[in-house]
Every structure is written in C-alpha cells, then in structure tokens.
Structure 1
Amino acid sequence: MNGGFTGIDPDGPAFLASLGGLVAGSGAAVDAVLPGRPAEARQMCAALLRLLRTDRIAELRLLRTTASPAGGTVQDLAPDPDCAARIRVTDTPIPEVIIVNGRAALVRCGVAAGRRASLVHAPDVVRTLQALFSGVWRTAAPLGGPLRDPTFGLSEGAHRVLRQMCTGDTDAAAARELSISVRTYRRHAAEILRVLGVTSRFQAGVRAMELGLLKSGGPVR
C-alpha cells in the first residue's frame, strides 16, 4: 500500500474478488458505478446482487451511466422486484467505482491493456468519491424513468456565485465582482454545497465541472 492506495488486478473476476474481501462480514452498505461495457456491467451487477441476497450487503445502490461509448441498455440489469437493490441511470460521466461503508473504494479506469485498478483507503479520497457518487445519484433517474435535470434547480444568483467560487478570489473580492454583499455571497456558497451534496468549495468545483455547470452559457434557473 502507498499512501492509502493499493494496486489490484483490473481483470473482472479478480476485481470482484477484491470486493468480496471488503464485504467479508455482513451488512455492508455499497454504492457502485457499473462498467460501461454491457457484459462487464451484467457481471458486476450479478456479483453484487449475490452478495446482497446472502446478507453480506445490506444496502445497495447501483448507478449506470448512459454516457459510455460502449452504449448498451440498462433494462436487463433490473433485479428481481423483491430485491432491495436500487438502480438509477445518469448521463453524467462518472468513474467506475465501488464504495463500501464510505470507508474504502475500488476504482477501475482505462481501456484494454491500459486498464488499472486500485483499492483506496485514503479517507479524503474515499470521502470525495462518496460525495461525487451521492451528488450524481441525486439527479439520476430510476431505471426506466426519464433522466433528471442535472442543474439541481440552482438559482441564477447561485450559478453566478458558483462560477466566481472557482476563480480562487476571496469572498470579499468575489462579492465585489458580483456587486453583492459578502453575507449574500456566503449564503449562496452554503446553498451550493448543500445542493451539490459536498462539504468543501473544492469539491463543489469538481462536482460542477462533472455536471457541466461551469460551461459558458450553462444552465441557469
């Protein structure tokens, strides 16, 4: 292990074997982003559902992205109606990750021979991954439902503050630039953290970029 990261085999069966080691007990809470490749998504989904049915996983949230170049459908991933797993679909790109109890994560990235995977125990990194997952989950649609608006309904004032937050200016300088009071600026900043489901302004910036909220002429409500 190096600084809370351990390299692991990215191969499907080996990757899922690492998951089995993380949920060796019972009652784990697991959040997982399914792979973009349909065959791998089905394999991971089946493995997670087996762990759920044997009570090694108590709570399971599965997130499927439609932004994958591999395409494919998500309907065949739906579990039995009596299964406690929840599946949502998003068009927001998000790394392939499995988070266990908010304390450890398996991350896999890359394609073909360049694929890499890591077991992550670094608390700050796991918290950031959890915040990213939770933020995307909030705007994702239930399987079979329409995709939700990723703007979270942020007001025009909040969008202006969000963009200004990412400049690195002090609160006082940013408020002057927007012609608002520091108190109003900080109120909008607190709203942004709450709505995006993050705990720091840095995380808010990362989350906003993931959602495309910082693009010129981006969505404003």
Structure 2
Amino acid sequence: MRDAVTEVVTIRGDLELLTRTAHLLSSVREEFVCAARDLDTWSRPGARQAMAARAGHTQQVHQVRKLLSPAALADEHSRAHLRELVDQGALVRIASAPLPHETIVIDRRLAILAGLDGPGGREYTLTTAPTLVGGVYALFDAAWETATDLKAFLRGEQPRLDAAGRTVLRALGSGATDEKAARELGMSLRTYRRRVAELLTTLDADSRFQAGIRAGELGLNG
C-alpha cells in the first residue's frame, strides 16, 4: 500500500495493521475519531506502543473524539488515562451499552473497522471509499450524540429512577393500555398517568416512545 488505502483492503493481525497504517495515523490533520469497547482494542501486544501512542495523541490534530463502552472504565488506571486524554483536549464519551463495532475514522477520508479474532490474528478492514467512510462516520456520529460525557458519566449524572419509576417504565414498554397498566399496578388511572408524566420529565422525553428510546440509551430498561 502506498500513501493511501485503495478503496477497500482487508488485513489480519495487529502488526500488519500497524505496518499499513502507521504513516496514516501520523498524518492526521483535522479529526481523529475512535470507537472501542476497551482501551486495548487498538493497542494489542506487538502493536501496542506505537498504536496506543498515536491513537491517544491530541496535540497535532484539530479534534480527537473517543467513544467507549462502559467496560473501558473497569479499573482506575483506565479511568486515569481517559481523564488525562480529556485534560489534553480530547473529547471522550461513554456509551450506555457495549459497542457492537469498533472503528477509527481519520479526517473523514479513511475508516478502519476491527473485526473478529481468528487463528491468524484479528481481522481489520480499511477503506477510503467516500461512501463507505461517510456511512461509518455517520453511524459513529449517531452513537456519539446519545453517549454521555466522561466526567458526567463518572459523576453518575444520569436520570435516576426509583422502583416505582422502573415499574411504570416496564409497563410502558409492555404496550399495555393505560387502563390495563394502572389496574395491574394497583393504581388509579389518574395516578398512573401522573407517574407517566413524571417519568417523561425525568427522562427529558417529549413522548412515551422517546422515553423508551432514552431509557434504552441510558441502560435503564433492565
């Protein structure tokens, strides 16, 4: 591969990933975005030092955004590392649930997607195809908008539902009519509807449907 990835390339193993992308990771000009389940996704043995250093670097690029699963906060060392990135100017957000896919997008011109582990190492797909890069970036952006800022996440600044609130939330999710839900919960219809209104306010939702989506984003459906 020369100075750019040609359309779509699939490679296997962290060392080959580093070999093929080191110059690209060193040439970020405007924006570096990364979605990962944990802090080791892009810095495994063999490629760890160079990849981790480049992926965490914030001083030579205009903007760095990192979207991570809650598992990335599993220990104090990881939390301290992310706080340091924020102090250096990176934007870090935590998704409400494990991320189904992991990716890096550089300057909206190159996308790297991490696949599954296999006998020959982890598979990675690299692409510079504008349509594919744009699609990956749009999905990242959508996930970013629903995630929580790192500092707010660590402070626990999420809506808190008491047992009654969660019961009403489950009733909404069941699709039952107000009358049936109120009867099953042992409430008057008026009380049930009042609690639904309070729930919408707590979740900053304009509709019951939006409340369900918001609760899912925040991991409150369990």
Tell me the TM-score range normalised by the shorter chain.
Answer: 0.5 to 0.7
Question: Would you say 1:137 and 2:189 are equivalent positions?
Answer: no
- 2:126 aligned counterpart, secondary structure: strand
* Structure 2 CA distance for aligned equivalents of residues 97 and 134 of structure 1: 12
- 1:6 aligned counterpart, secondary structure: strand
Alignment of 1:199-214 (within 5 A): none
Which residue of structure 2 aligns with residue 49 of structure 1?
A: 56
Change in CA separation of 1:83 and 1:129 when aligned onto 2, cut-off 3 Å: same
Instruction: State the 1:157 CA deviation.
Output: 6.9
Identity between Structure 1 and Structure 2 (%): 21
Unpaired segments ≥5 residues, structure 2 = 160-202
Q: RMSD of the TM alignment (CA)?
A: 3.8
Which residue of structure 2 aligns with residue 22 of structure 1?
A: 24
2:101 to 71, 95, 109: 95
Which residue of structure 1 aligns with residue 207 of structure 2?
A: 155
Unpaired segments ≥5 residues, structure 1 = 160-207, 214-218
Question: Is the radius of gyration larger for structure 1 or structure 2?
Answer: 2
Which residue of structure 2 aligns with residue 64 of structure 1?
A: 68
Cα displacement string for residues 179-212 of structure 1 (whole angstroms, at most 9, x for unaligned residues):
xxxxxxxxxxxxxxxxxxxxxxxxxxxxx9xx96
Instruction: State the 1:34 CA deviation.
Output: 2.6
2:28·2:107 contact (CA, 8 Å) conserved in 1? no
Report the AA paired with residue 122 of structure 2.
Answer: R
Question: Would you say 1:110 and 2:162 are equivalent positions?
Answer: no
Change in CA separation of 1:7 and 1:142 when aligned onto 2, cut-off 3 Å: same
- 2:62 aligned counterpart, secondary structure: strand
Change in CA separation of 1:154 and 1:30 when aligned onto 2, cut-off 3 Å: farther
* Structure 1 CA distance for aligned equivalents of residues 42 and 210 of structure 2: 37
- 1:137 aligned counterpart, secondary structure: helix
Change in CA separation of 1:66 and 1:81 when aligned onto 2, cut-off 3 Å: closer
Would you say how many aligned residue pairs link Structure 1 and Structure 2? 158
Report the AA paired with residue 116 of structure 1.
Answer: E
Change in CA separation of 1:154 and 1:15 when aligned onto 2, cut-off 3 Å: farther
